[in-house]
Amino acid sequence: MSGIVIVGAKRTAIGSFLGQFTGVPTPTLGATAIKAALEQSGIPAADVSEVIMGCVLPANLGQAPARQASLAAGLPKSSGCTTITKVCGSGMTAIMLAHVLIKAGSASIVVAGG
């Protein structure tokens, strides 16, 4: 097995409570970051086997924020999606779980963040 590498890293702008991103749903922000990271890496969306996204407060976002972000970023429905709702460190937990999936051979290309 070869090493695990990060081939793309993007983030959204940092907002403030009731600031300019108030009207932008969290999955939309996630989709923007996913799409940009895939463009940076040159990896086709169809090659992503799993998406793991952290979301501290998913209330009023609808079901499965990670799935919403994945589909809005253009990933296929065949990509598995998991939302981590851990109050502190959900994005870091998503990255750690992505590492575990790849290390175990359960996935080869994983999008992780939050």
Closest residue by Cα to residue 57 from 112, 95, 17, 108: 17
Closest residue by Cα to residue 35 from 24, 45, 50: 45
Question: Where residue 3 falls among pLDDT bands split at 50, 70, 90?
Answer: confident
Report the top-level CATH class of 26-113.
alpha beta
pLDDT in tens, 22-41: 899 999 999 999 999 999 99
Predicted structure pTM score: 0.91
pLDDT in tens, 63-110: 999 999 999 999 999 999 999 999 889 999 999 999 999 999 999 999
